[in-house]
Amino acid sequence: METNSQRNILEEQIRECFGRTVWTHKTHEKCADILSFRQNFLKITQIFISGLVTTGILASVFGDSFGLAIVAAIFSFLLTLLNTFVKNYDLGALAQKHSDAAIQIWNIRENYLSLLTDIQ
What's the rounded Cα separation, in Å, for the pair 51 and 44? Answer: 11
Per-residue confidence (pLDDT) for residue 2, from 0 to 100: 59
Contact 107, 28 (CB under 8 A): no
Write the DSSP string, 4-64: HHHHHHHHHHHHHHHHHHHHHHHHHHHHHHHHHHHHHHHHHHHHHHHHHHHHHHHHHHHH-
Q: What is the pLDDT of residue 69?
A: 84
> What's the N-to-C CA distance of the chain in angstroms?
16
pTM over 0.85: no
Give the whole-angstrom CA distance, residue 46 versus residue 41.
9
Nearest partner of 103 among 14, 26, 15, 38, judged by Cα:
26
- 3-state class (DSSP) for residue 90: coil
Q: What is the pLDDT along the chain (120 residues), one digit of tens a residue?
A: 457 788 888 889 989 999 999 999 999 999 999 999 999 999 999 999 999 899 888 888 888 778 888 888 899 999 999 999 888 888 999 999 999 999 999 999 999 989 888 887
pLDDT at 95: 95
